[in-house]
């Protein structure tokens, strides 16, 4: 008990130094956790994506639509279980800062292929029934206060003009990682209005076809078969798994993600150096005490153990505090970035990594001071000032 008391008292012996080191460690581990969460959120779309769904788009670019009539030919491919389609709308709700994804879809087939989007039977029926209706995800509804029955007006950018939609339902995600930040409405309504309003966008066209493949091991084979259908046509296709499709978006900003990842590790390296300096200074100052303990009969291993325990205790205290504070910090970060990250949550893996980083910091910081404390000769240590 006395030794434990000595350990705790030693940590706060030089309060300012210990406090600054504690804060530095806390900030570093918190930043590490937050940056790791940002990286994970960046990949969240890809992680939530299915390997059993294929996305077929224009081989030239995603911005070029594909003819709707491709759909029936795709449906006939061996290995395709279901087929649906969607088209990106890209409208503005009140202000460009209120960005959220909007897709024109074929509701019955779309929600069949995406069973993770859950609607009540009534809301589903209402949505299917009314061509001018839309459904929004729970998160999106909470952000903007959307309720069933609300009329939402979007200002079209790709499809100019004002577009009104009646909220027929609010869908929930089956899993926590399911994106509930989107809006879906009828493709048929969009297509009708494109023609009626003479909007200069390809009518009877879709952005992507989505197919479900019950046997994921056949995904590549089915994808190639789909693309083979349209080889040498004016609008050739590129089919890939949904996961690869999502990763394609991430790849566009991969440099940023790599930089963020690198910074998160650099931050930990910096605090390792800072804490190693703190522990070295501490050990140097206490050389006469360590020599006294050795003179009294405490072993070199014990003395080194005191140094090690002090370093690890400081690391654990800082690490655990940072871990706890990461959650409110992540909440504040997401609130400040608006709709940038649909799914932004500190994962268990991230928390473990934070703890690991804190422990590694304590360990590295203790190495040289421990060796010094172990090796110091009693006579030399007693003479040290």
Partner 1 sequence: MIRIRHLGKSYRRGDQDVTVLDDLSLDVAQGAFLALMGPSGSGKSTLLNLIAGIDRPTKGSIEIDGLDIVNLSDSQLAAWRAENVGFIFQFYNLIPVLTAYENVELPLQLTTVPAAERKQRVEQALAQVGLSDRMGHRPNELSGGQQQRVAIARALITSPSLIVADEPTGDLDRVSGEEVLKMLQRLNTDQGKTILMVTHDPKAASYAGAMVHLDKGQLESQPAAA
Binding site for partner 1 (CB under 8 A): 2-3, 5-6, 9-10, 13, 288-289, 291-300, 377-379, 382
Cβ closer to partner 1: 255 or 379? 379
The distance of closest approach from Cβ of residue 295 to partner 1 in the complex, given in angstroms and rounded to an integer, is: 5
Locate tokens 């009540």: which residue?
120
Contact 25, 314 (CB under 8 A): yes
The distance of closest approach from Cβ of residue 22 to partner 1 in the complex, given in angstroms and rounded to an integer, is: 18
Contact 48, 178 (CB under 8 A): yes
The distance of closest approach from Cβ of residue 272 to partner 1 in the complex, given in angstroms and rounded to an integer, is: 26
The alpha helices in the chain, defined as continuous H runs, are 2-11, 15-42, 44-48, 70-75, 107-113, 121-129, 138-144, 187-196, 219-229, 242-252, 254-285, 287-296, 300-337, 348-375, 378-383
HSE of 125, CA atoms in CB hemisphere, 13 A: 3
**Which three-class secondary structure state does DSSP give residue 134?**
strand
Cβ closer to partner 1: 53 or 286? 286
Cβ closer to partner 1: 92 or 378? 378
The distance of closest approach from Cβ of residue 36 to partner 1 in the complex, given in angstroms and rounded to an integer, is: 37
Instruction: Return d(Cα 85, Cα 56) in angstroms, integer.
Output: 9
Which whole-number Å values give the CA distances from 29 to 37, 265, 299, 354, in the listed order?
Answer: 12, 10, 34, 6
- Identify the bridge partners of residue 183 per DSSP, sorted by sequence position: 102, 136
The distance of closest approach from Cβ of residue 249 to partner 1 in the complex, given in angstroms and rounded to an integer, is: 57
The distance of closest approach from Cβ of residue 288 to partner 1 in the complex, given in angstroms and rounded to an integer, is: 6
CA 202 to chain centre: 35
The distance of closest approach from Cβ of residue 311 to partner 1 in the complex, given in angstroms and rounded to an integer, is: 17
Instruction: Return d(Cα 292, Cα 303) in angstroms, integer.
Output: 10
Cβ closer to partner 1: 21 or 84? 21
Cβ closer to partner 1: 79 or 288? 288
Cβ closer to partner 1: 206 or 279? 279
Cβ closer to partner 1: 84 or 287? 287
DSSP letters spanning 12-28: TTSHHHHHHHHHHHHHH
């Amino acid at each position: 008990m006395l030794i434990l008391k000595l350990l705790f008292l030693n940590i706060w012996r030089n309060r300012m130094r210990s406090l600054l080191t504690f804060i530095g460690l806390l900030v570093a581990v918190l930043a590490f956790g937050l940056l790791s969460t940002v990286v994970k959120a960046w990949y969240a779309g890809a992680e939530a994506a299915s390997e059993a769904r294929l996305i077929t788009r224009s081989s030239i670019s995603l911005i070029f639509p594909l003819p709707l009539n491709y759909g029936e030919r795709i449906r006939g491919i061996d290995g395709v279980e279901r087929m649906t389609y969607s088209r990106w709308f890209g409208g503005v709700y009140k202000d460009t800062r209120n960005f959220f994804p909007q897709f024109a879809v074929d509701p019955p087939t779309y929600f069949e292929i995406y069973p993770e989007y859950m609607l009540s039977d009534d809301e589903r029926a209402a949505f299917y029934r009314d061509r001018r209706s839309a459904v929004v995800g729970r998160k999106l509804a909470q952000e903007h206060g959307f309720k069933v029955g609300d009329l939402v007006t979007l200002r079209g950018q790709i499809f100019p003009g004002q577009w009104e939609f009646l909220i027929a339902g609010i869908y929930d995600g089956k899993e926590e990682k399911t994106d509930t930040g989107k809006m879906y409405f009828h493709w048929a309504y969009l297509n009708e209005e494109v023609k009626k309003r003479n909007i200069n966008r390809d009518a009877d066209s879709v952005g992507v076809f989505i197919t479900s493949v019950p046997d994921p091991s056949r995904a590549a084979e089915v994808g190639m078969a789909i693309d083979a259908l349209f080889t040498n046509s004016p609008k050739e296709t590129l089919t890939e798994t949904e996961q690869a499709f999502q990763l394609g978006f991430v790849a566009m900003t991969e440099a940023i993600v790599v930089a963020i990842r690198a910074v998160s590790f650099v931050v930990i390296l910096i605090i390792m150096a800072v804490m190693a300096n703190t522990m070295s200074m501490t050990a140097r100052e206490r050389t006469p005490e360590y020599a006294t303990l050795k003179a009294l009969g405490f072993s070199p291993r014990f003395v080194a153990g005191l140094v090690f325990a002090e370093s690890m205790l400081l690391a654990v205290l800082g690490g655990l505090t940072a871990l706890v504070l990461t959650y409110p910090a992540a909440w504040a970060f997401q609130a400040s970035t608006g709709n940038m990250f649909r799914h932004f949550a500190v994962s268990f893996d991230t928390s473990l990594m934070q703890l690991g980083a804190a422990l590694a910091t304590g360990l590295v910081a203790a190495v040289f001071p421990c060796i010094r404390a172990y090796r110091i000769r009693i006579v030399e240590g007693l003479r040290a000032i």
